[in-house]
Amino acid sequence: MIANYLTGLLKGDIRSLSRCISIVENESAGFEELLEKLPGANSTKIVGITGPPGAGKSTLVNELIQSLLKVGKKVAIIAVDPSSPFNMGALLGDRIRMSQHFNSPNVYIRSLASRGALGGLSPKIIEIAEVVKAAHFDYLFIETVGVGQSEVDIAGIADTSIVVLVPEAGDEIQTMKAGLMEIANIFVVNKSDRPTADTFVKNLRLLAHTKRSESWEIPVIKSIATRGVGIDAIIEAINKHQEALEQIPARKALLLTDKLYQLIQYRRMHDINKLELLNVVKEELEKGNFNLYKMVKSFVN
């Protein structure tokens, strides 16, 4: 069975891809065999898109897909919203409509729900991305909501991380966006027809300039996703960033090391279910004289 799915996957068959992702997502029988048999090398560009809710990420991704499809590219999208099950439904609805609209073998769209108690959405996305890569897509977009407590570490998954922002008061850039600033390879200022856009972009460019490295200066791109403005510039920036990455072989090894670490951690913690752990803690608390480290030891040795 796995062999058949794998053959289909390597040919780029969409139904095989769907099946393979489900097997990995649910850790169904054979998922380890499947993951071990994936070919190593590939040329899929993995692009993470994150930013606060309401920044227009979905619309932007839709426009990017359309532009890439027009020039004959194969594009996959994984949409993740771990923080909001409600939003998830809405997102999924959008995607289904979008999917029908495209109705093309060159586009594949998948929504991922939060894994909750199973712990760790990032490792699961890394595994799924490996599956998508095997189906020879040119681009894989991974879209997440970028808030502080998000369990998805997009910078640990994507080759290129895009942070989408909307124009707001300039002085907040200094403080609250520190987390997003650290992971951005490309900034997109969406809804850039808002009156405060120019000041915002100017401040962001100044800040981005201080973060430049020898091989990459973070571009700040203005877009109006609802009108398709800025889309080509974003695609150009993605391609340029991927070229820049090729110049730094160490960067690739670092990213892989980070992924490997996340996956090892995920597997090593796989037998720990937080709900069961809670029950053990409650029992121990009732007994009295609770010692945290003794409990740790009972799960480690």
State the number of binding residues for a copy of itself (CB under 8 A). 66
- Tokens, residue 89: 């439904």
The interface with a copy of itself within residues 137-176 (CB under 8 A) comprises: 146-150, 166, 168-169, 171-172, 175-176
If the CB atoms of residues 164 and 186 are measured against a copy of itself, the closer one turns out to be 164
**Pairwise CA distance, residues 143 & 62, whole Å:** 11
Kindly report the backbone phi and psi dihedral angles of residue 127, in degrees, each rounded to the nearest multiple of 5, phi listed first: -65, -45
Q: Is 289 in the site for a copy of itself (CB under 8 A)?
A: yes
DSSP 8-class letter at 161: E
Task: Give the binding range for a copy of itself (CB under 8 A) out of 57-65, 95-103, 238-246, 254-262.
Answer: 254-262
What torsion do the CA atoms of 231, 233, 234, 236 make, to the nearest 10 degrees?
A: 130
- 94/101 Cα distance (integer angstroms): 10
Instruction: Write down the least CB distance from residue 126 to a copy of itself, Å.
Output: 7
Alpha helices (H) in the chain, listed in sequence order: 2-11, 14-26, 31-37, 57-70, 85-102, 122-134, 173-176, 178-183, 197-210, 231-246, 249-268, 274-287, 292-300
Q: How many CB atoms lie within 10 A of CB 131?
A: 25
Q: Which of 95, 110, 177, 191 binds a copy of itself (CB under 8 A)?
A: 177
| Min dist. Cβ of residue 203 to a copy of itself (A) | 13
Say how far apart CA 203 and CA 276 lie, in whole Å: 49
Query: Rounded CA gap, 76 and 139, in Å?
Result: 6
d(CA 256, CA 247): 16
Residue 35 is a binding residue for a copy of itself (CB under 8 A): yes
Q: Does 198 bind a copy of itself (CB under 8 A)?
A: no
CA 214 to chain centre: 26
Q: What six digits make up the tokens of 74?
A: 């194969």
User: Shortest approach of a copy of itself to residue 66 CB, angstroms?
Assistant: 27
- Among the listed ranges 103-111, 136-144, 224-232, 273-281, the one in contact with a copy of itself (CB under 8 A) is 273-281
Scan residues 112-131 and list those touching a copy of itself (CB under 8 A).
Answer: 126-127, 130
- Region binding a copy of itself by CB under 8 A among candidate stretches 13-21, 38-46, 102-110, 232-240: 38-46
CB of 271 to a copy of itself, least distance (A): 10
- SS3 per residue for 247-268: CCHHHHHHHHHHHHHHHHHHHH
Residue 13 token pair: 């068959």
Residue type, 60: L
Contact call for residues 57 and 63 (beta carbons, < 8 A): no
Q: Does the protein bind a copy of itself through residue 10 (CB under 8 A)?
A: no
What is the x/- site pattern for a copy of itself, positions 41-80, by CB under 8 A? Answer: x----------xxxx-------------------------
Q: Judged by CB, which is closer to a copy of itself: 96, or 296?
A: 296
Stretch that binds a copy of itself, among 65-73, 99-107, 206-214, 279-287 (CB under 8 A): 279-287
The yes or no reply on residue 183 touching a copy of itself (CB under 8 A) is: yes
Question: Where along the sequence are the contacts to a copy of itself (CB under 8 A)?
Answer: 32, 35-36, 38-41, 52-55, 83, 126-127, 130, 146-150, 166, 168-169, 171-172, 175-180, 182-183, 252-254, 256-257, 259-261, 263-265, 267-269, 272, 274, 277-278, 281-282, 285, 288-297, 299-300
